[in-house]
């Protein structure tokens, strides 16, 4: 299946020292890509890279804070100059903060928006400038089932992921003419460190299993196929799309 073969391509995955980002980086490596792991914590990043190298994958590390516009630009430009092209970008870095909206702290709102929305713009723009010059590139933004739905206590997160979905459309609208494919994946409820409190809550897990047609939490490995597809030649005419991988929760009442 050569359409899905990523051999010879380099993929940068932000926030990839654990959870969904690590799983996606591993999946892209399995499809043949050389992966560039990113995080703010150099020690944790080195541990993640060592784990992938132990499996025989080609791995590079790039430490930067996705919420620092100048730092992002310097890191991306420096890497492109010294190591070569980034062919695939997965904007995965994100955070959650659960508080009733009427009590939601302003500083937490700002931090959440910087992490979930600003970072997609900062990293996306920095990488796209090089992709545009080459006339090719794949950008995959990690949205959420909350791009389309809402739950109590996470209104700002819902707003941020709605913004990611619309920013993805904007990226495609501006950059498709330059040979870029810009799409998003919207995960449903997955067993990740970000959802640890919910996974360990028997009442919530019981609700989720009843609410989701598939009847269970998702496994992070189940996001890999969508990411490989959107990163590959198989998605050459897919642009501005948000692909929901959620066990059917967004389609069922």
Closest CA to 120 of 185, 179, 59: 185
Is 157 among the catalytic positions? yes
Tokens of 112: 């959440």
Q: List Cα–Cα distances, 54 to 47, 126, 137, 147, in angstroms.
A: 11, 30, 28, 36
Tokens of 119: 């970072």
Tokens of 57: 């994958």
| Sheet of 137-142, strand order | 59-63, 34-39, 10-13, 88-91, 137-142, 180-187, 242-245
Neighbours of 162 (CB within 10 A): 18
Query: What kind and span of H or E run contains 172?
Result: helix 155-175
Write down the catalytic residue from 22, 122, 157, 189.
Answer: 157
Question: CA-to-CA distance for 248 and 56, rounded, in angstroms?
Answer: 35
Q: Are 123 and 164 in contact (CB under 8 A)?
A: no
Tokens of 148: 């389309």
DSSP E strands in 16-134: the ranges are 34-39, 59-63, 88-91
| Active site (catalytic) residues | 157
């Amino acid at each position: 299946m050569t359409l899905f073969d990523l051999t010879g391509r380099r993929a940068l995955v932000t926030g990839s020292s654990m959870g969904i980002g690590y799983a996606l980086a591993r999946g892209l490596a399995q499809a043949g890509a050389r992966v560039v792991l990113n995080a703010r914590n150099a020690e944790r990043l080195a541990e993640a890279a060592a784990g992938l190298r132990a499996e025989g994958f080609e791995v590079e590390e790039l430490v930067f804070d996705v919420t620092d516009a100048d730092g992002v630009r310097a890191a991306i430009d420096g890497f492109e100059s010294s190591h070569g092209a980034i062919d695939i970008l997965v904007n995965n870095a994100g955070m959650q903060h659960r508080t009733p909206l009427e009590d939601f702290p302003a500083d937490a709102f700002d931090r959440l928006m910087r992490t979930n929305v600003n970072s997609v713009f900062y990293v996306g723009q920095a990488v796209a400038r090089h992709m545009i010059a080459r006339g090719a590139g794949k950008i995959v933004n990690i949205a959420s089932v909350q791009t389309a739905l809402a739950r109590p206590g996470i209104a700002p997160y819902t707003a941020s992921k709605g913004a990611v979905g619309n920013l993805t459309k904007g990226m495609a609208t501006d950059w498709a003419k330059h040979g870029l494919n810009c799409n998003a994946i919207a995960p449903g409820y997955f067993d990740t460190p970000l959802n640890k409190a919910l996974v360990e809550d028997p009442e919530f897990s019981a609700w989720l299993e009843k609410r989701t047609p598939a009847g269970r939490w998702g496994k992070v490995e189940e996001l890999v196929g969508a990411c490989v597809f959107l990163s590959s030649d198989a998605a050459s005419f897919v642009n501005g799309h948000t692909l929901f991988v959620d066990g059917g929760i967004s389609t069922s009442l």
